[in-house]
A and B are shown apart, each in its own frame.
Chain A
Amino acid sequence: MDKTVLNVNKLQTEFRMRRYTVYAVNGVSYDIHPGEIVGVVGESGCGKSVSQMSTLRLVPSPPAHIAGNAVYEGKDLVDPSNAEYLRSVRGGKIAMIFQEPMTSLNPVMKVGEQISEAIRLHMKLGANEARARTIELMKKVRIPDAEERYESYPHEFSGGMCQRLMIAMAMSCDPDLLIADESTTALDVTIQAQILEMLRDVVRETQTALLIVTHNLGIVARYADKIYVMYAGSVVEYGRAADIFTAPSHAYTIGLLNSVPRLDDDKDRMLMPIEGFPPNLQSRPEGCAFSARCTQKLPECASCSEFPLKMVGDGHYSLCINDHLDRSQRRSDTLFEAKRIPDETLLEIRGLHREFPVKKGILFKKTVGKVHALNDVNLRIRRGETLGLVGESGCGKTTLARSILGLISPTSGEILYQGTDLTKLDKRKTREMRKDIQLIFQDPFASLDPRMSIGSIIGEPLVVHKLTSGKAEYLKRVEELFIMVGLDPSLRDRSPHELSGGQRQRVGIARALASEPRFLVCDEPVSALDVSVQAQILNLLERLQRELGLTYLFIAHDLSVVRHISDTIAVMYLGRIVEKGDWKTLCKNPMHPYTRALLSAVPIPDPEIERTRNIEAIKGDVPSVSRLPGGCSFHPRCPYASADCAAAVPELRETEPGHFVACPVADAIRGAKSQAGSAE
């Protein structure tokens, strides 16, 4: 057995507030070995981050009280008498990478100097040596032109690049352990894949241990060697990654796995969400903390006072006392009946362009350029179908959504809704049209007026469009809407901040449905939610579509979600549709290199599949739309680009019935792939 880097034993963290105590971490133990990648997963509020912060005493104390120990190099970091030692270790030998790279860098300091400052502080090096080391580190995290970029300021870097800088800073003192706390959550999938691939290579090379804290099961499946599943402040199951995914042995782990949509799913699988919410931890849970939400609980689960860690396999432990867990993902009651979509156009977008002028100058603003947010977009949405729209951020997805809703007027082109051109409507008609076309927002908190009660938020469309006559009818309709989206009507008088994220998103959906629209634009409706809640909302949207005959335009950056819910998928890159087709052909047989990259960037929560997958990472970031590359705008990042790609903008052409691709080399790539496949 080789030595452990960090050994955490029975860690407990309580926040003793004036009137209540939060038991955030309840006896967490784990150890990490050199060069090992460990994943910690669980929903938000399960104590994942707090337990990592507690080992380094990064939680404010008081109110926090930390017990247990975390041994690094024979010294207990949790022990207050070792505070001096902890300070020398923290940020040096044990380094952390946080979620928000943009706010972690000082905006008025050159990035190179920020990194070398950290190096000089910890390693006592001179200015020149520190500079050389910084450039070496920047090269290590694959920042192009490291020497020149040393002199740049943080705002000149993209989010992904800033995260690389943060990793370089964390790596600066040759740490033994790197803790990445949701460090790629805020990034696009493609960038996330780039960063994690790089991070894995770097830690493998330097034999650094890496601890990844995340809610994304796919990430741990792809990268982690060992996984700890946390719930309500405790580790409920841990073991090697392969064991956790092939033989999950805690009802919670099974619940999590069943609630996420997967790229390799069957289409008709209904997600099986974990109902309810994690406990608020203001009291120590009696019995199994998960029993309140568990569908496979035994009578003794809620009362049993002690749950010993039970060995279920080699190095695989679980707290669950149910030995006969059902792991199946498919049950007859969880399959949706297939939709029948008539060939009838509800909405058609023809040649839509939208340009934003770029202005410069303080006193006399001059237009110095144009940003092409939408560039010749053509789409057709049939009645009753779900059109999924994917792409990285900054690709014009939201601009398209807002154009349909009439919040932005396009520069040219038509949006035909049942034959009426929405772009030609006046203000009053547009308002009238909003009864029929509604929007579901990404952030369910920011989009609800904090000063209004839930009941009046949901009922507002009824008032605005005068859809009900009389108080009684209004109240009845509001109650119907509550029930329709699975909300308890007694929540009517609550304020938005008293609800959980999932409940708030239900409010958003009920509000959108109040005027009985036929077409819903869903702009990233689940990306701000936890996986189990995400599953609840996705199922709700599917059920509502079938019950009310709705048509969706579903915008998301997560292809596994889009694939799960959509009938047709359109892939957007820098304001253009680069590929579209029905979900099956597009996912089975992606033609455009960008689609291929997007698909392979999404990790599948199954280590077996991940091991055999060929990851087609793409280079670089999404370029700024104000400096569009000529020709095919994807060519600078495309691994297959030829000279022709830069010459002309490729047209969308039909490669097989209903499958359109805008790529001149798509056939060549496919040919090469199938040849390579047959050679094997």
Chain B
Amino acid sequence: MMKKGSFIRVLVSRWTVLLSVILIALFIIAAVFAPLLMPYDPLAMDLPNRLAAPSLKHLLGCDLMGRDIMSRIIYGARTSMLIAFVSIIIGGIAGTLLGLVAGYFGGVVDTVIMRLTDAMMAIPQIVLALGIGVALGRSTLNLMIAIGVSSVPAYIRMMRGQTVSTKNQMYVLSANVIGCSDSRVMYRHILPNSISPLIVTATINLGGAIMAEASLSYLGLGVPPEIPAWGTMVSDGFQYIETAPMLSVIPGLCIMLVVLAFNIFGDGLRDMLDPRVRGSL
């Protein structure tokens, strides 16, 4: 493992990564402390103020129903982050375990898991998530499951590859020789030595999950309409794009910034975890 000091040094030496970390931190703070930070109830309608322009009272103005956009953006961060993190955890854990098992045991187990993965990969991710969403019904939990499951094949492929190469290392043979059980070999020896590329991918995929959530919400298949979400906000405001562009532009901008920040952070993380690149930083 690398020392903490050098980790921070690398972080500071690359300002884009540092900026992305700050941005992600801001959005996470907004998501966690949403109830405290919101100036208004994001659901409270105030019809006299519909489509109000930004003012001191409403920093980003109001939407069609006179709801405060600032509050809705902050609450939307909470929705997006929650869905992104939970779906990545669902997809990541399932994918890692299946990939580990497929790569370690090989043979029939491997064939069955990998052919199913191939089948899933043939379906576009958004269509898959859409199908799962339709089948399970519309709720935040089902959306998380849908996005999570649709990301599983990528993790399986990656983890299987990692496992197959780690499996042939001498220390894995050594673990077998001292009499470790299969589960111990997988859990104690292969997993810790294969996980770092997966963490990087998961970080980058957080951006992807937010995109998926926004896309599904835009299509009306995301979170239930009563919960503020960035995707829904973009789609709601879209009809008024000429008269009140802020309605769609601001949530759209948030989506873009978060996705970009996660991608840059993921790239930086990969460089920091890779000893070959780390030396040259």
Contacts and interface: CB of A to CB of B under 8 A. Distances in A.
Interface in B164-209: 169-171, 173-181, 184, 188-189, 192-193
B108 interface: no
Contact of B170 (A435, A441, A464, A514): A441
Interface stretch (A54-62, A98-106, A448-456, A534-542): A448-456
A23 to B, nearest CB: 21
B1 interface: yes
A477 interface: no
Nearest to A451: B192
B175 A449 contact: yes
A439 B171 contact: no
B120 to A, nearest CB: 24
Contact of A464 (B169, B178, B192, B193): B178
Given A449-B189, A450-B193, A407 B176 contact: yes
Contact of A441 (B174, B180, B188, B189): B174
Contacts of A461: 178-179
Contacts of A449: 171, 174-175, 188-189, 192-193
A407 B173 contact: yes
Given A446-B169, A446-B170, A434 B178 contact: yes
A460 interface: yes
A460 B175 CA distance: 9
B100 to A, nearest CB: 15
A448 B179 contact: no
A439 to B, nearest CB: 5
Which of B1, B170, B173, B178 counts the most chain A CB atoms within 10 A?
B178
A407 B170 CA distance: 13
- Chain B interface residue number, banded: 10 to 19
A435 B179 CA distance: 7
Contacts of A460: 175, 178, 180
Contacts of A465: 179
A664 to B, nearest CB: 39
A461 B178 CA distance: 6
A515 interface: yes
B174 A447 contact: yes
Given A449-B189, A450-B193, A451-B192, A464 B173 contact: no
Interface in A444-499: 446-452, 460-461, 464-465, 495
Contacts of B188: 449, 452
A267 to B, nearest CB: 30
A452 B172 CA distance: 12
Interface in A69-83: none
B178 A447 contact: no
B176 A464 contact: no
Contact of A515 (B170, B173, B178): B178
Contacts of B180: 460, 464
Contact of B1 (A431, A441, A448, A495): A495
A511 B176 CA distance: 13
Nearest to A447: B170
A464 B181 contact: yes
A448 B171 contact: yes
A348 interface: no
A434 B176 CA distance: 9
Contacts of B171: 446-450
B184 A464 contact: yes
Nearest to A431: B179
A405 B173 CA distance: 11
Nearest to A446: B170
Contacts of B193: 449-451
A75 to B, nearest CB: 35
B174 A448 contact: yes
A438 interface: yes
A449 B173 CA distance: 10
A616 interface: no
A443 interface: yes
A452 B188 CA distance: 9
B233 to A, nearest CB: 44
A432 B173 contact: no
B1 to A, nearest CB: 7
9 contacts: A438-B178, A439-B177, A441-B170, A441-B174, A443-B170, A446-B169, A451-B1, A464-B181, A465-B179
Given A438-B178, A465-B179, A511-B174, 17 more contacts: A407-B173, A407-B176, A441-B170, A441-B174, A446-B170, A447-B171, A447-B173, A450-B171, A450-B193, A451-B1, A451-B192, A460-B175, A461-B178, A464-B179, A464-B181, A464-B184, A515-B179
Nearest 3 pairs of A and B residues by beta carbon: A434-B179, A446-B170, A447-B170
